[in-house]
A and B are shown apart, each in its own frame.
Chain A
Amino acid sequence: MWEAVFVLTYAAVVMGYTAWNIKKGSFVIDPSQLILFSILGAIVIIAILTMASGDFFGAAEPILKLGAAALLFAGIPPMLAAGVGYIRFGEEYGPNIFYARNHITGVIDTVASLVMIFVGILIYRLDLAAVGFFFFLLIPFTGNALANAYYYSYQRRLGK
Chain B
Amino acid sequence: MIDLAFLNLMAESAFFWAAFLFMVASAFTGIAALRLSLKGEAVTSLMAISSFTTIAGVSLFLISLPELFNVGFARDTAIALLVIGSIGTIIFARLFRTGD
Q: Which residues of A contact B (CB under 8 A)?
A: 2-4, 6-7, 10-11, 49, 52-55, 58-59, 61-63, 65-66, 68-70, 72-73, 75-76, 79-80, 82-84, 86-87, 91, 98, 101-102, 104-105, 108-109, 112, 115-116, 123, 125, 127-128, 131, 134-135, 138-139, 141-142, 145-146, 148-150, 152-153, 156
Provide the residues of chain A in CB contact with B4, threshold 8 Å. Answer: 49, 53, 55, 58-59, 62
A138 to B21, CA, bound (A): 26
Q: Which residues of A contact B32 (CB under 8 A)?
A: 82-84, 86-87
Q: Supply 24 A–B pairs (Cβ within 8 Å), ascending by A.
A: A3-B9, A4-B13, A6-B13, A6-B14, A53-B2, A62-B7, A62-B8, A68-B18, A79-B25, A79-B28, A83-B33, A98-B47, A101-B47, A101-B48, A108-B29, A109-B51, A112-B26, A112-B58, A123-B65, A131-B83, A138-B83, A142-B90, A146-B50, A149-B43
Are A135 and B82 touching (Cβ within 8 A)? yes
Specify which chain A residues have a CB less than 8 angstroms from the CB of B43 in the assembled complex.
98, 146, 149-150, 153
Q: Are B11 and A66 in contact (CB under 8 A)?
A: yes
**Chain B residues engaging chain A, CB cutoff 8 angstroms:** 1-4, 7-15, 17-19, 21-22, 25-26, 28-29, 31-33, 35-36, 39-40, 42-44, 46-48, 50-51, 54-55, 57-58, 61, 65, 67, 75, 78-79, 82-83, 86-87, 89-90, 92-94, 96-99
